[in-house]
Amino acid sequence: MTVRSEHTAPFALSAFLNAGVFWLLCATIAALFFFQEGLNALWVAWQLPEYSHGPLIPVLSLLLFLRQLKGVPIDHRPVTDRGPGIALLVFAILLGTLGKLSQIDEIVAYAIILWVGAILLISWGWNQGKHFWPPVVHLVYMLPLPGVLYYKISTHLQMISSELGVWMLQLINVPVFLEGNIIDLGVYKLHVAEACSGLRYLFPIMSFSYIFAVLFKGTVSHKAILLLAAVPITIVMNSVRIAFAGWLVNYVGLEYLEGFTHFFEGWIIFMICVVLLFILAWMMLRFTGSRMSLVDALDLDTSGWAGQAARVRLIAPSRTLILSAVLLGAGAVAWETHDQVGTTTVPREPFVLFPTTLNAWKSGIPEALSPEVQETLAADDYHSVQFSNPAAAAPVGLFIAWYDDQTKGGTHSPEVCLPGAGWEIAKLDRIDIAPQVGFAEQYNLNRAVIQKGQTRMLVYYWFEQHGRHTAWDFAAKMYLLWDSITIGRTDGALVRLTTPIMSGETEAEAEARLQDMFLETTRVLPRFVPGLDI
């Protein structure tokens, strides 16, 4: 790339059409079409409270870019170091293609950020473009988390917030008892749901702290502290919010939690988190002996930004920029015109036809999940039932959740859900059960011992995907990605077997009961959760 002097003649339409900005515009339009699935994923995520701050992130990143650009002087020499930009562009296109083929739109959204970085490096070259990493990295805050990671983080934050909230209530002498995510106030019970996990504050606060750290004129260590402080500040303040809600419910009633008051309370907590970040920055200035005021310690100078924005017309055309526009445009056209990979609909029997008798095991009436649990589970079909056997000391619970398309959900691990229901995981092992039950093929599953008070349960659970039995939820996601590309299938199921460990009974005795039911279940399971031979 070559750039013209700031004293270039007044801008004209003819100059615009012949300049590199034209090809930059072409590359941008082509990218919008090529990465459209990612843009759709962002739009859907931004409708959720946790990601409602998303539309502001590109705007703030643009302002950060203009700020960074002020520190990069115009270089009249031709750009010869576009290699890193080309490599990053190729990687962005490959990642976007992978997401399109696997029909996991979030992957395409992640590729958009790589494309932004690539275009900057192609336009300015490595020596200049490498200074623009802060605004590019900031774009990460507009992305939705992968489903598996989201549920794990949300559950852990729920537990931490619940425990801290109850501790605060006990400090002010409010009688309270915590069971999982249920805060028992005696007359009332509060469920610390996903909405109260703090994620809807954590993501925007982390974005704010990132910008705050970039603008702060302190040392690198001070910037790091400001950036990392967003997490504990949000968790503590969300716990204060929960404790305050419990205190008011204890004295006012559940009606407090409904309507505008609950929403307004959330915004107050958000603003308090922002204020705490300012206080932390002020304390660091005082601790280091700096005489700067907090306002002076922040680079809030916006002068000359309009002039920096006009520098885009100084980008000269290059073969690399033209090639990026052509590649993305051709890729978008090819994707729209070819026979796109579709999700294979597999024939299966609904769970309503699941046998009520499995050898000596007989089922009771299937159990219906609460609307809240069904919404979180988001399964297309599920079966929850207790099987009993006259020769067995206790029943065995069977739960199966089926998903037609796991790219929109699925793989909700009991490792996440059980603690939220008040169960403590005392032991968790990933095992191959095949040697114990006489299977020839490998059969991986999770074996867990959970407890709630004096009650102990033995649990088997695994993810069933196209004849593959997977114990690890992250591995299930990777297999999902592979299968969606190779065989066009994104369906799958979670299977769970549970049995109580009775008083005076050993784990081995309970496990023998569980293994017997396991064998009976796996014999009929392919009718309802199809493998590869369909």
| Residue in the block written with tokens 């992957």 | 107
DSSP state of 352: G
Mean pLDDT calculated for residue range 228-244: 85
Q: List CB contacts of 403: < 8 A, sequence separation 6 or more.
A: 378, 379, 380, 409, 410, 491, 492, 493
Residue 260 has a pLDDT of 46
| Residue in the block written with tokens 């979670």 | 494
- Specify the 3-state DSSP secondary structure of 318: coil
DSSP string, 242-265: HHHHHHHHHHT-GGGGSTHHHHHH
Indicate if the pLDDT at residue 109 is higher than 90.
Answer: yes
The CA distance from 148 to 394, in Å, is 33
Residue 416 has a pLDDT of 65
Sort residue 446 into left (φ over 0), alpha (ψ -120 to 50) or beta: beta
CB 190 within 8 A of CB 162: no
Positive or negative CA dihedral for 223, 225, 227, 230?
A: negative
CB 460 within 8 A of CB 439: no
Structure tokens at 368: 């219906």
Mean pLDDT calculated for residue range 40-58: 88
CB 141 within 8 A of CB 206: yes
Angle at 176 between CA 172 and CA 178, to 5 degrees: 125
pTM of the model: 0.69
> Average pLDDT over the chain, rounded to whole?
82
Counting residues of the chain whose pLDDT is more than 90, the rounded percentage is 30
Mean pLDDT calculated for residue range 33-45: 91
The CA distance from 485 to 341, in Å, is 8
Angle at 153 between CA 382 and CA 501, to 5 degrees: 55
pLDDT digits (tens, 9 = 90+) for 345-385: 788 999 999 999 999 999 999 999 888 888 878 899 999 99
Angle at 468 between CA 462 and CA 472, to 5 degrees: 40
